[in-house]
Amino acid sequence: MANPSLLILPGDGIGPEVMAQVRRVIDWFGANKDLVFDVSEDLVGGAAYDKHGTPLHDDTMAKAQEVDAVLLGAVGGPKYDDLDFAVKPERGLLRLRKEMDLFSNLRPAQCFDALADFSSLKKDVVAGLDIMIVRELTSGVYFGEPRGIHKEGNERVGVNTQRYTESEIARVARSAFELAKRRGNKVCSMEKANVMESGILWRDVVQEIHDAEYPEVELSHMYADNGAMQLVRAPKQFDVIVTDNLFGDVLSDCAAMLTGSLGMLPSASLGLPMGNGRPKALYEPVHGSAPDITGQGKANPIACILSFAMALRYSFDEGANADLLEGAVQKVLADGVRTADLMGPEGGTPVSTGEMGDAILAALDAA
């Protein structure tokens, strides 16, 4: 059988730096676990704009559709702030999500024991935290029509549209229930059914899918504003949270910060199964391109490395190897190896991006 294929899109800012460490991890699995990937690399975001005048070249889009999984670093940076909306780096990422139809975005927020002190919340509120946010990623206000800025009389009006079809809600709900079955068997669905019709429909459809197909999973509903409050009050009450595109964007950043560092969190964006049974998939760290530390060797590569672990788990059915990689990361953190973003009040000397990579490879060797 042919090797599984990976398209790597390092992107902008710290993207290339953290991705370089992922390449080393991929090579480690090839050399030590007989898990060889056909890896190709291409441009996305500002890097693609600089070369092609577009944040995602059509050839790159076509390649992304063909491979077994895409691994993305980060997009964006101040250099591109004044670009026309249509060619902003973020549009490259949004096009990938939309055209690959990656409707289910998995954003785990897990608190590593060694880092429980780093959260802005009290240690006992976050220690052992393990929640999964499932964010709808291809519809809602991000893509709804009409949209735009137009003139009414002598002032401008900005319009975006929140729009969801039943089938869009149903498929992401199923994906959340399936995940819950393999975890704590609980789903909390979040919307604003008190003010939005699309929220009423969301709540109805999630309930219908539950009753018809997943009655054994515990389901609750919450208004998204209360959800945000509960996430910082008592986050351990949650197992899987399912929500729309915009609420998911906000709530997942909130959940991410509970864990102490945005530099730690991976994500998976999954679509429908392809001919080979694997889902269309894109994996990326939750953090952005971090222009303030770009090129200084300070970036934490863990979120990107853990994104590759998610690829092993969700695209390649390599759960044991995903466990191995996640275990290596945990070991390194328990040993006190820290990039600058993970330095606590007690201080110490941070390691560089490459040294964090070294430590993780050494932990893999030792495992």
- Residue closer to Mg ion (CB basis): 250 or 362: 250
According to the annotation, is 253 in a ligand binding site? Answer: yes
d(CA 21, CA 12): 15
* Residue 249: active-site member: yes
* Residue 253: active-site member: yes
3 state SS of 66 = helix
d(CA 300, CA 106): 20
In 3D, which of 71, 52, 62, 59 has the Cα closest to residue 6?
A: 71
- Residue closer to ligand IPM (CB basis): 90 or 218: 90
d(CA 32, CA 275): 29
Q: Tokens 């996640």 belong to which residue? A: 326
* Minimum distance from residue 238 beta carbon to ligand IPM (Å): 19
Which residue in the list 117, 253, 323, 358 is annotated as catalytic? Answer: 253
According to the annotation, is 238 in a ligand binding site? Answer: no
**By the 8 A CB rule, do 35 and 53 touch?**
no
C-alpha distances out from residue 101 to 86, 97, 132, 269, 312, Å: 19, 6, 20, 9, 20
Specify the amino acid at residue 295.
G
Residues in the chain: 367
* Residue 192: active-site member: yes
- Residue closer to Mg ion (CB basis): 58 or 292: 292
CA atoms within a 13 Å half-sphere pointing along the CA-CB vector of 325: 28
According to the annotation, is 249 in a ligand binding site? Answer: yes
According to the annotation, is 300 in a ligand binding site? Answer: yes
Residue 90 interaction partner, one of ligand IPM, Mg ion, none, beta carbon < 5-8 Å per kind: ligand IPM
Q: CA angle, 236 as apex, 337 and 122 as ends, to 5°?
A: 55
Phi, psi of 66 (to 5 degrees): -90, -30
Contact residues toward ligand IPM (CB under 6 A) are 90, 93-94, 249
* Minimum distance from residue 90 beta carbon to ligand IPM (Å): 4
Which residue in the list 12, 42, 49, 192 is annotated as catalytic? Answer: 192
Which residue in the list 68, 249, 283, 314 is annotated as catalytic? Answer: 249
C-alpha distances out from residue 189 to 132, 160, 177, 340, Å: 12, 23, 10, 36
- Residue closer to ligand IPM (CB basis): 14 or 93: 93
* Minimum distance from residue 281 beta carbon to Mg ion (Å): 19
* Minimum distance from residue 91 beta carbon to ligand IPM (Å): 8
* Residue 314: active-site member: no
Contact residues toward Mg ion (CB under 5 A) are 249
For residue 279, say if its preceding peptide bond is cis, omega within 30 degrees of 0: no
According to the annotation, is 101 in a ligand binding site? Answer: no
- Residue closer to Mg ion (CB basis): 168 or 249: 249
Q: Tokens 């992107």 belong to which residue? A: 11
Task: Please give the residue whose beta carbon sits closest to Mg ion in the complex.
Answer: 249
According to the annotation, is 68 in a ligand binding site? Answer: no
| Binding-site annotation, residues | 77-90, 97, 107, 135, 225, 249, 253, 288-300
Mark the binding-site residues for substrate, compressed into ranges.
97, 107, 135, 225
Q: Which residues are catalytic?
A: 142, 192, 225, 249, 253
